Structure 1
Amino acid sequence: MSMKAPRGTFDILPEEAAKWQFIENTIKDICRRYHFDEIRTPLFEHTEVFQRGVGDSTDIVQKEMYTFEDRGGRSLTLRPEGTASVVRSFIEHKMHGYPTQPVKLYYFAEMFRYERPQKGRMRQMNQFGVEAMGSADPAIDAEIIDLAMSVYKELGLSSLKLVINSLGDQESRVNHREALVNHFTPYKDELCSDCQTRLTQNPLRILDCKTDQDHPAMKTAPSVLDYLNDASTMYFEKVKNYLTAMGIDYEVDPTLVRGLDYYNHTAFEIMSEAEGFGAITTLAGGGRYNGLVEELGGPSTPGIGFGMGLERLLMALEAENITIPTDEELDCFLVTVGDEADEASVQIAHELRRKGIQVDRDYQDRKMKAQFKAADRYQAKFVLVLGESEIEQQVINVKDMRTGEQQEVPLAQLANYLQGKLSGGNVDE
């Protein structure tokens, strides 16, 4: 019996969880400013949601999904990505009928993909993502990109590169698809087995192949930008103009196609250029998916979104030597002397917590000196000392561990006294 976490998973211990909480709270505040609301979807969906939503030709569906059959014979899959689940919920709850459009949603969710574990890419991943459905305005494409860049910049990252592309509308994609088939067909036998299949299923995915990325035919493949019709070209120009207006630097990469079938028009990735970050530099990626809502059975609804790996975000912060501020100090620690004081401390701690004050106490029946050592380990700001004489007088000794000053405070005024001290204000004795 193995008592280790399964391969491709890891524990987030308390000292690390504080960093995750800081990052998540920062992101939530940014989403509030951009007027995005949180959505939480199930950990698993009917397999068809991902087969239809992500695309049968993708590596995710073909190779990476955790799929199982429940006792009722239904095929279910642990979610490998967030967009399909959110779109399913959008359709099921008829959000397209909301009076306020577009519907702007964000989520924090665990994703599951069976792939070779490596640093920053595990089999259970934590992801932040946003989806905006109900608008075909290129301005919201730029807003989505701006939101993603704001997360990284507000957390202190500077070694970033934004890469964008346009996959065009349906007409543009059909024309480009035909050009790709004509281009790669003479080299079919030289391509990997996956790309040979993609040549008929989704030739655009060949451009995203890691196995054949150095094949000479890749360098001369037709650019999607050469096959954009006037409407698609105008749309892409507006997105670029909005990014420029916001002072967001970007590079256009015609080979950027993303790994999911549902993308069209705007596609983008944000990468880390920090020294020593690693070979896989992508931090976040997303794009527009007009047609996905219809594919999953909903009404015609345009949409755009992105997914951001939180593990890779932490890696980027580490690569740029950015320290995440975490408050590891404890407000108060109760030190008791004697059985009567020990019993009384339970009620005192209860009342202080109800007043919003963070407090802990000894649960190991330790001597007074050992309790003070525990307070030091917890980095307590104040130590509250209670003995039999203090109980008789209904007072408690409060020691400020930063200054060493001690004050005898009536128990009835303790919460008010500590609130004043912890807020930095003056408290009348």
Structure 2
Amino acid sequence: MKIQAINGFKDILPEAVGRWQYIEQQARDIFERFGFQEIRMPILEKTELFVRSIGEATDVVEKEMYTFVDKGIAMRPEATASVMRAFIEHGLHVQQPVQRLYTIGPMFRHERPQKGRMRQFHQLDAEIIGASEPRIDAELIAMGRMLLDELGLNVSLELNSLGCPVCRPPFKERLVLFLEERQEALCDDCKRRTRTNPLRVLDCKKPSCRAVVQEAPSLLEVLCPDCDRHFVEVKTALEELRIPFQINRFMVRGLDYYTRTTFEFLTADLGAQAAVGAGGRYDGLIEQLGGPPLSGIGFAMGLERLALLMEQQNNRLIPAKGMDIFVAALGTATIAFAGQLTHALRHQGAKAAIDYSGRSLKAQLKQAGRINARFVLIVGEDEWMKGEAILRDMQTQEQRPFALSGSTEEQARRLLAMVWTAAAP
């Protein structure tokens, strides 16, 4: 019986890796244009970190975390809490008052696998810590928008405000009263959430619950003056940057630490999993985790969803990766020399391949085509004895002689000069 991957854990095969690498490369480039630095954290963290940050009554903590109960540790279900833990533990605020950090890596949630969401999934995560100005919110959103544009993706931006500890408690009381009067129409989860985490009812995807919340009160109606002013300035800054958005007064996030600005980048091309990226402000979280009283805002984007959306929308052709040169050794007498030359080519920075089996030229040319080699150096026994080889351009099929004179290193340098000159646009 063959052993297969665990349900919800997926292999990323070589033909798909190129798209993933392209997304990561574009993300790193854009994030660093905005002054972000990369940080890498461990996959395992103390369970308490997520209970205190995400919230004990959230679905993530209650149902979805992979937790080693006897050890008190969990596999990270999201990145923000881990970034905050590292920020506090290493006193990064002492080095620089405002930190811009990003990380790329796997997260883990035990939920039903579906299109664009696995139990091991990967995220691009960006955080700005120590800045509370509304224009910072707009700048972070603009960075996310720039990445999606660079990837050629067609998405929309939705915006909301979740208020603060001043205006949210009275709103929760209003919302609970509203929901209690409509319990019969709610799903079992939302009946439970009415008392434990009423804001999450607004985010339920079940049709009966969605119908109920259309008439629910909105936090935007009861924002305190500071939160209202902050939200107005965020919208103004986005308009100045010419970033279109829509207000979604029912948008909430599944994690308790969010305050004020929240946002989602949405697509209609991924079914129920409409969000390709989401985030918001989390003022108070750092202090809650034992750090200084600093503000913060961040977002995460799912790599699986970005890759799937790129494939579906087909807006961007990812350049095929291949080898610079394939060395085709014909006959056993040439294999040792061809191996040395291939090694020298790699030392010179070339992506070079060789087949040591001594197969026919036809078979080796087919192999060169399969690995997308731009050039093939054909080394036959008779030609090798005469100090000659043939360089074939696999795109134009043009062939030219190549002299096997000088040291192996000298041959590699001359060969690469020919290859890169011919391949130049």
TM-score between the two structures when normalised by the length of structure 2? 0.93
Alignment of 1:106-125 (within 5 A): 106-125=102-121
Q: Which amino acid aligns with 2:64?
A: E
Quick one: structure 1 residues 386 and 145, their matched pair in 2 at CA, closer, same or farther if it must change by over 3 Å?
same
Q: Name 1:187's counterpart in structure 2.
A: 182
Structure 1 residue 321: Cα displacement? 2.4
CA distance in 1, matches of 2:348, 2:34: 33
Among residues 84, 89, 101, which one is paired with 2:86 in the alignment? 89
Q: Name 1:169's counterpart in structure 2.
A: 164
Structure 1 residue 386: Cα displacement? 2.3
Among residues 399, 403, 425, which one is paired with 1:405 in the alignment? 399
Q: Does 1:226 pair with 2:221? A: yes
Q: Which amino acid aligns with 2:256?
A: D
Q: Which amino acid aligns with 2:75?
A: L
Q: Does 1:141 pair with 2:134? A: no
Among residues 394, 416, 422, which one is paired with 1:419 in the alignment? 416
What are structure 2's unaligned runs of at least 5 residues?
Answer: none
Give the aligned CA root-mean-square deviation in angstroms: 2.1
Q: Does 1:294 pair with 2:287? A: yes
What are structure 1's unaligned runs of at least 5 residues?
Answer: none
Secondary structure at 1:210's aligned position in 2? Answer: coil
Deviations 1:202-261 (A, max 9, x none): 322221223475365422211101111111111001111110011000001110111110
Number of matched pairs: 420
CA distance in 1, matches of 2:210, 2:134: 35
Q: Name 2:376's counterpart in structure 1.
A: 383
Q: Which amino acid aligns with 2:394?
A: M
Q: Is the 8 A contact 1:22 1:326 kept in 2?
A: no
Structure 1 residue 280: Cα displacement? 2.5
Q: Is the 8 A contact 1:396 1:411 kept in 2?
A: no
Q: Name 2:262's counterpart in structure 1.
A: 267
CA distance in 2, matches of 1:411, 1:31: 48
Q: Does 1:337 pair with 2:326? A: no
Structure 1 residue 392: Cα displacement? 4.6
Deviations 1:350-379 (A, max 9, x none): 111011111100033323332223223323
Secondary structure at 1:287's aligned position in 2? Answer: strand
CA distance in 2, matches of 1:204, 1:411: 76
The answer to which of 230-239 and 216-225 deviates more is 216-225
Secondary structure at 2:182's aligned position in 1? Answer: helix
Quick one: structure 1 residues 351 and 216, their matched pair in 2 at CA, closer, same or farther if it must change by over 3 Å?
closer
Q: Does 1:130 pair with 2:126? A: yes
The answer to which of 184-193 and 398-407 deviates more is 184-193
CA distance in 2, matches of 1:425, 1:369: 23
Q: Is the 8 A contact 2:341 2:412 kept in 1?
A: no
Q: Does 1:75 pair with 2:69? A: no
Deviations 1:79-137 (A, max 9, x none): 111111111111111112123x3211111111111111111111111111111111111
Secondary structure at 1:254's aligned position in 2? Answer: coil
Secondary structure at 1:169's aligned position in 2? Answer: coil
Secondary structure at 1:23's aligned position in 2? Answer: helix
The answer to which of 377-386 and 302-311 deviates more is 377-386
Structure 1 residue 273: Cα displacement? 3.3
Q: Does 1:20 pair with 2:13? A: no
CA distance in 2, matches of 1:22, 1:102: 29
Q: Name 1:309's counterpart in structure 2.
A: 302
Structure 1 residue 323: Cα displacement? 4.0
Q: Name 1:3's counterpart in structure 2.
A: 3
CA distance in 2, matches of 1:2, 1:398: 44
Quick one: structure 1 residues 65 and 320, their matched pair in 2 at CA, closer, same or farther if it must change by over 3 Å?
same
Deviations 1:278-327 (A, max 9, x none): 23311111000011111211111111111111111122223322243132
Q: Is the 8 A contact 1:166 1:224 kept in 2?
A: yes
Q: Name 1:30's counterpart in structure 2.
A: 30
CA distance in 2, matches of 1:211, 1:238: 34
Q: Does 1:210 pair with 2:201? A: no
Q: Is the 8 A contact 2:185 2:212 kept in 1?
A: no
Q: Is the 8 A contact 1:22 1:324 kept in 2?
A: no
Structure 1 residue 179: Cα displacement? 1.6
Secondary structure at 1:132's aligned position in 2? Answer: strand
CA distance in 1, matches of 2:98, 2:316: 36
Secondary structure at 1:40's aligned position in 2? Answer: coil
The answer to which of 415-424 and 145-154 deviates more is 415-424
Q: Which amino acid aligns with 2:140?
A: I
Q: Does 1:98 pair with 2:95? A: yes
Moved over 4 A (4+): 388-395
CA distance in 1, matches of 2:2, 2:395: 46
Structure 1 residue 344: Cα displacement? 1.5
Quick one: structure 1 residues 215 and 169, their matched pair in 2 at CA, closer, same or farther if it must change by over 3 Å?
closer
CA distance in 2, matches of 1:303, 1:66: 26
Q: Which amino acid aligns with 1:3?
A: I
Structure 1 residue 381: Cα displacement? 1.7
Q: Which amino acid aligns with 2:72?
A: S
Q: Name 1:41's counterpart in structure 2.
A: 41
Q: Which amino acid aligns with 2:262?
A: A
The answer to which of 119-128 and 196-205 deviates more is 196-205
Q: Is the 8 A contact 1:267 1:288 kept in 2?
A: yes
Q: Is the 8 A contact 1:207 1:213 kept in 2?
A: no
Secondary structure at 1:116's aligned position in 2? Answer: coil
